[in-house]
Structure 1
């Protein structure tokens, strides 16, 4: 019996280190594994938030990759709005700076880092396939410099708070621009359905995790707004599912004939 207990303890030791570092507090560990109270609501909510946060971050590493690959495969960024990308970058940058300034845990905002890198890449591709490669390179350079300054102690806290407050209108305007572009074109162009639906799901989950891990109502409201706007784009994708630039051109040709 003693041997079995020692064996179980030796197995749980590395697992305990992992759980305490990334998933739960020591009090919650005690509730689950010492008291066997698996229905402890506060701990369940905290663990669910951590797991969702880590899942969102891991998913964000690849969330816009389908969009990037679709644009590169088509050698076209038709249907994508550069102005929408700029506003999205502004919103992401504000979230990153606000989170870093307030020392929020990485699990509460980490996906913003990966979304920023992928959105920046999409902006570069839009410029490149629009015949403005030099402007695209300059765009990446200027943004990188501005972001470095924003995350440094040189930026006053009031500026960071103002950027986070501006996130909501930035997100709304960004998505409305993309939605208007889709409506005007009559299709969603090179928008990736996988990326759009993953972003929608991630922003929904972030409402819960931001409230649970930061308790910041401004962060939570930003994700509520983001979810609503991402939902509009997702609905457009479903509505224009059988529409494409090629089909639209074929219809025009038939009308002319």
Structure 2
């Protein structure tokens, strides 16, 4: 052991008790002593566990903000064009099932914690899709939001009170749920040749998160059902990522229509001119088309009968 390592171990061996307890709770006593206090990285299993824990914590932290750009995009534009409501509802159910299944099995929070934050964010996106949707009837929109909120509350209550055995069956159902949650969005993107208001950051983050989750679950959990769910989610998110690249910059038809209507309403058309009566055109021109020039008053003789009279009058050109 060189001098630098000896000095570092003197520091790591004297960490405050709260830091040591946190480290032990994450990677157990044996690996904490090996990796932190001795700074010995020759134990491959401890290194893999530490890497898995680090990735897991990173995913949980990232999961708490991964859908925030999507929510901000909807609120900024007040438009949910291109977002599939069935996709988000099914995805939320998948997250909730995995959340309660993992919690009831006492899995480490670092292996499933992001499902809590993703569920909350997906519920918010689902409600915003209804709020800023194309429905012209405000009362119906409000009713739909109330129904969807009640559905989510009922789902959470049912999962919380469900037995562990039934949760295990539902965890198997997350595989088709993951599949069907992405298919409506993928289909909508393909038909519109656009990804609409879908956030590129959210899609990329989910791809990275699924890759990391495959590693952490294989290292710490070893549940093949959970791993299969993340594998399928990775495949479908990759399809969405490819669509983001193919349709980048394309506007959905609904947005194109709105812009076309707005542009049409701003056009200025010349006013219709009524035809001028030809019999009045000369009189109109004489009275309005040119200015009349006045001359000084002149005396003009008019012959009337046998006599004559003189009148003063003003000649007009």
Indicate whether the TM-score tops 0.5.
yes
Alpha-carbon deviations, 1:127-175, whole Å to 9, x = none? Answer: 11124133113312331232123122xx133321121101111111111
Number of residue pairs aligned between Structure 1 and Structure 2? 246
Mark the runs of 5 or more structure 1 residues left unpaired by the alignment.
none
Q: Please tell me whether residue 119 in structure 1 is matched to residue 141 in structure 2.
A: no
RMSD of the TM alignment (CA)? Answer: 2.3
Identify the residue that residue 223 of structure 2 maps to in structure 1.
216
Q: Once structures 1 and 2 are overlaid, which stretch shifts more, 169-178 or 133-142? A: 133-142
Distance 1:36 1:118 in 2: 40
- Indicate if the aligned counterparts of 2:81 and 2:254 stay in contact, CA closer than 8 A: no
- Indicate if the aligned counterparts of 1:124 and 1:137 stay in contact, CA closer than 8 A: no
Q: Please tell me whether residue 236 in structure 1 is matched to residue 240 in structure 2.
A: no
Distance 1:21 1:127 in 2: 43
Identify the residue that residue 233 of structure 2 maps to in structure 1.
226
User: Against the structure 1 CA distance between its residues 247 and 213, is the aligned structure 2 distance closer, same or farther, given a 3 Å change threshold?
Assistant: same
User: Against the structure 1 CA distance between its residues 186 and 34, is the aligned structure 2 distance closer, same or farther, given a 3 Å change threshold?
Assistant: closer
RCO higher in 1 or 2 (8 Å CA, sep ≥ 6)? 1
Q: Give the alignment's TM-score, normalised by structure 1.
A: 0.88
Identify the residue that residue 146 of structure 2 maps to in structure 1.
137
Q: Which has the higher strand share?
A: 2
Alpha-carbon deviations, 1:28-50, whole Å to 9, x = none? Answer: 01222454421311001101111
Mark the runs of 5 or more structure 2 residues left unpaired by the alignment.
1-6, 136-140, 261-317
Q: Give the alignment's TM-score, normalised by structure 2.
A: 0.72
User: Against the structure 1 CA distance between its residues 215 and 5, is the aligned structure 2 distance closer, same or farther, given a 3 Å change threshold?
Assistant: closer
Distance 2:191 2:177 in 1: 21
Distance 2:108 2:251 in 1: 42
Alpha-carbon deviations, 1:191-215, whole Å to 9, x = none? Answer: 0001110011101110011111111
User: Against the structure 1 CA distance between its residues 247 and 149, is the aligned structure 2 distance closer, same or farther, given a 3 Å change threshold?
Assistant: closer
Q: Which has the higher helix share?
A: 1
1:158 to 158, 165, 181: 165
Distance 2:200 2:38 in 1: 45
User: Against the structure 1 CA distance between its residues 103 and 180, is the aligned structure 2 distance closer, same or farther, given a 3 Å change threshold?
Assistant: same
Distance 1:193 1:80 in 2: 13
Structure whose CA Rg is larger: 2
Distance 1:5 1:57 in 2: 30
